[in-house]
């Protein structure tokens, strides 16, 4: 810390109290002004300002943490020592405070949700195990307090949390001059470690292969950037095609969403849903089941002479991928955009050859003893005596569709290139499910009380929102890391708190990974000091 007399262009001198600091990642130190005491021209006035600066400097030096030194010679010099992770609290704690700052909740409830969301990201586990792990992240959680708080999270609070997340997603897009114009909708199943059903848990087709467990259907809506918009729970036995309209009804009640394009998988759409979307003037893009269409439409799809080339690109293996398309009126009053890709045709042919090689092992064998998934093909038939054979006519019919795929939409004058790019954005919702299931370990669920089940999902949803918002902000700063890599780095951000024999508190930051420096800078988070002493009783 030093006093600087800086000469100005007008001839006066400014008296500055400055300190030399070495910014993280920089080789040389730079000066930072602590206080400007003003400017003067006469020697008398300059001396007066210098005296003020010296007095102020002496006051700071007397109160400086560096006046305290950590001296450890033996075990007797250390009264207490505690190591904990700071990375997840730094990143996601700040994100939580920013997103949910205006959420109308009692402080203890908001703090509990904050801690549970951070723990769900840092080390997802059951509530009991979470309490045992929480001290590793400088968080203090008790099982009874968690359940008591969960019981105080009412349905209206859950709705407010959803609304807060929706508003924040819309605000982030508005700051980037982007519109909330495309929404991706999909469902997944979440299973429970039990076989007892109730009003919401029930048996159904499990996408996780857990058919012996009861489950819940979870519908999620995200933007094309992967930002969360909303979610809804349905009983595990619910048909996924019956979930879309109820979700749209809830969206209409909560949010003012107009002029959107809904993108979804073909399994979610049926004639009733498409008619309802038309009635509500909601545009949609869905995958078309081209093999189930009428003969006239199928004939038009398979006629490549009417296709127009969209692009020709070379993949890393040197193969040319030629994509072409044609737009056809469908039987439902909307349109089918049919595509053909040469790379996809080669892949379809290769996959079918692999299937045929597996099927050949079972030819002329008993079907009853050879029930396996590879035999569930349209060109596999069962003859008398339960003998397995290949239907060559059906095999040839399947070959005709190599390289073909389609999209169905009610948008007139659709641009095939833009629509294909938009539909391929469905990977965002698939990634959202992957993060929820893998990184946040949303399932299996161990709660049995329906209300606590819903609160468990909203906690996971809050954690998911924090992860997606962090990814979004980092991408905008050209500083993106997949959340898996980011979390591995955050695991190494640790502090050690020491209380010496004089009851003085000290904090030391373990050597942090330098890869996190640009992450902290991009998110405007202060890089932790290597060493500091804390006021007594901290």
User: pLDDT for 172-229, tens place per residue?
Assistant: 998 888 888 888 888 888 887 766 676 677 777 666 666 777 888 888 889 888 899 9
Q: pLDDT category, 365, cuts 50, 70, 90? A: low
Pairing outcome for strands 30-40 and 78-85? unpaired
What pLDDT does 342 receive?
A: 93
Domain that holds residue 390: 294-329+335-409
Residue keyed to tokens 């709660």:
447
Map residue 392 onto helix, strand or coil.
Answer: helix
Pairing outcome for strands 404-409 and 335-341? antiparallel
pTM beyond 0.85: the answer is: no
pLDDT above 80 (res 92): yes
pLDDT above 60 (res 372): no
Q: What residues are paired with 384 via a beta bridge?
A: none
Q: C-alpha angle 504/534/501, rounded to 5°?
A: 10
What pLDDT does 391 receive?
A: 83
What pLDDT does 148 receive?
A: 95
pLDDT above 90 (res 79): no
User: pLDDT for 265-303, tens place per residue?
Assistant: 887 777 788 888 888 888 899 988 888 888 899 999 999
Domain boundary among 15, 31, 63: 63
What pLDDT does 246 receive?
A: 86
pLDDT above 60 (res 368): no
pLDDT above 50 (res 65): no
Q: How many structural domains comprise the chain? A: 2
pLDDT above 80 (res 245): yes
- Per-chain mean pLDDT for the chain: 85
Specify the range with the lowest mean pLDDT, choosing from 171-175, 369-373, 530-534: 369-373
User: pLDDT for 466-520, tens place per residue?
Assistant: 999 999 999 998 888 888 999 999 999 999 988 888 788 888 899 889 999 999 9
User: pLDDT for 431-457, tens place per residue?
Assistant: 887 888 777 778 788 888 889 989 999
> What is the arithmetic mean of pLDDT over 352-367?
78
Instruction: Decide if 161 is inside a domain.
Output: no
Q: pLDDT category, 537, cuts 50, 70, 90? A: very low
> What is the arithmetic mean of pLDDT over 82-94?
94
Domain boundary among 362, 383, 409: 409
Instruction: Decide if 120 is inside a domain.
Output: no
Q: Which of 129, 131, 153, 157 is nearest to 142 (CA)?
A: 131
User: pLDDT for 314-358, tens place per residue?
Assistant: 877 788 889 999 999 887 788 999 999 999 999 999 999 998 888
What pLDDT does 204 receive?
A: 72
pLDDT above 60 (res 67): no
Percent of the chain with pLDDT over 70: 91
Domain boundary among 63, 87, 105: 63
Tokens of 503: 């009851």
Instruction: Decide if 49 is inside a domain.
Output: yes
Q: pLDDT category, 139, cuts 50, 70, 90? A: very high
Kindly tell me the burial class for residue 84, based on how many C-beta atoms sit within 10 Å of its own C-beta (0-12, 13-18, 19 or more).
middle
Omega of the bond prior to 227 within 30 degrees of 0, cis?
Answer: no
Pairing outcome for strands 494-500 and 30-40? unpaired
Asked if 248 and 279 touch (Cβ cutoff 8 Å), the reply is no
Backbone angles phi, psi at 98, to 5 degrees: -75, -40
Tokens of 425: 């954005």
What pLDDT does 160 receive?
A: 94
C-alpha–C-alpha distance, residues 216 and 188, integer Å: 9
Instruction: Decide if 116 is inside a domain.
Output: no
C-alpha–C-alpha distance, residues 435 and 121, integer Å: 10
Tokens of 403: 């390289």
Map residue 32 onto helix, strand or coil.
Answer: strand
Instruction: Decide if 195 is inside a domain.
Output: no
Half-sphere exposure of 341 (CA within 13 A, CB side): 14
Q: What per-residue string of b and e applies to 379-397 under the rule 16 or more CB within 10 Å gives b?
A: bbeeeeeeebeeeeeeeee
Which one has a higher pLDDT value, 269 or 134?
134
pLDDT above 80 (res 397): yes
Asked if 286 and 264 touch (Cβ cutoff 8 Å), the reply is yes
Instruction: Decide if 530 is inside a domain.
Output: no
What pLDDT does 27 receive?
A: 61
Instruction: Decide if 227 is inside a domain.
Output: no
Instruction: Decide if 122 is inside a domain.
Output: no
User: pLDDT for 374-394, tens place per residue?
Assistant: 667 888 887 776 677 888 888
């Amino acid at each position: 810390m030093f006093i600087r007399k800086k000469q100005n262009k007008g001839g006066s001198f400014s008296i500055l109290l400055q300190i030399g600091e070495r910014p993280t990642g920089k080789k040389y130190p730079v000066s930072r002004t602590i206080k400007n005491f003003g400017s003067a021209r006469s020697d008398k006035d300059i001396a007066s300002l210098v005296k003020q600066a010296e007095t102020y400097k002496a006051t700071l030096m007397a109160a400086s943490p560096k006046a305290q030194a950590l001296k450890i010679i033996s075990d007797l010099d250390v009264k207490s020592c505690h190591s904990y992770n700071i990375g997840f609290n730094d990143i996601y704690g700040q994100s939580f405070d920013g997103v949910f700052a205006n959420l109308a909740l009692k402080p203890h409830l908001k703090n509990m949700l904050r801690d549970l969301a951070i723990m769900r990201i840092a080390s997802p586990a059951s509530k009991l195990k979470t309490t045992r792990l929480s001290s590793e992240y400088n968080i203090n959680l008790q099982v009874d307090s968690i359940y008591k708080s969960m019981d105080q999270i009412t349905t209206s609070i859950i709705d407010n949390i959803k609304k807060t997340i929706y508003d924040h997603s819309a605000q982030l897009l508005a700051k980037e001059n982007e519109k909330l114009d495309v929404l991706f909708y999909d469902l997944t199943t979440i299973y429970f470690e039990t076989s007892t059903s109730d009003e919401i848990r029930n048996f159904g087709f499990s996408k996780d292969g857990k058919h012996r467990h009861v489950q819940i259907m979870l519908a999620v809506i995200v933007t094309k950037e992967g930002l969360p918009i909303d979610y809804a729970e349905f009983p595990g036995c619910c048909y996924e095609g019956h979930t879309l309209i109820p979700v749209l009804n809830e969206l209409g009640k909560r949010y003012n969403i107009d002029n959107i394009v809904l993108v979804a998988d073909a399994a979610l759409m049926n004639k009733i849903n498409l008619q309802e979307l038309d009635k509500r003037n909601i545009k949609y893009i869905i995958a078309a089941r081209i093999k189930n269409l009428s003969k006239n439409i199928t004939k038009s799809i398979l006629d490549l002479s009417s296709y127009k080339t969209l692009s020709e690109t070379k993949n890393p293996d040197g193969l040319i991928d030629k994509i072409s398309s044609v737009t056809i009126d469908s039987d439902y009053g909307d349109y089918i955009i049919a595509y053909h890709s040469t790379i996809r045709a080669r892949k379809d042919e290769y996959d079918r050859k692999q299937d045929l090689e597996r099927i050949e092992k079972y030819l002329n064998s008993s079907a009853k003893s050879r029930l396996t998934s590879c035999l569930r093909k349209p060109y596999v038939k069962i003859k008398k005596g339960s003998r397995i054979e290949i239907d060559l006519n059906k095999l040839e019919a399947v070959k005709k569709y190599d390289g073909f795929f389609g999209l169905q939409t009610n948008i007139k004058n659709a641009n095939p290139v833009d629509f294909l790019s938009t539909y391929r954005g469905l990977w965002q919702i698939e990634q959202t499910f992957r993060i929820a299931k893998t990184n946040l370990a949303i399932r299996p669920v161990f709660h049995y009380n329906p209300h606590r089940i819903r609160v468990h999902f909203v906690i996971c949803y809050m954690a998911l929102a924090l992860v997606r918002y962090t990814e979004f902000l980092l991408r905008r700063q050209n500083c993106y890391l997949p959340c898996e890599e980011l979390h591995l780095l955050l695991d190494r951000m640790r502090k050690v708190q020491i209380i010496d024999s004089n009851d003085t508190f000290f904090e030391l930051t373990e050597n942090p990974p330098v890869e996190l420096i640009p992450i902290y800078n991009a998110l405007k988070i202060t890089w932790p000091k290597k060493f500091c002493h804390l006021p007594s009783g901290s």
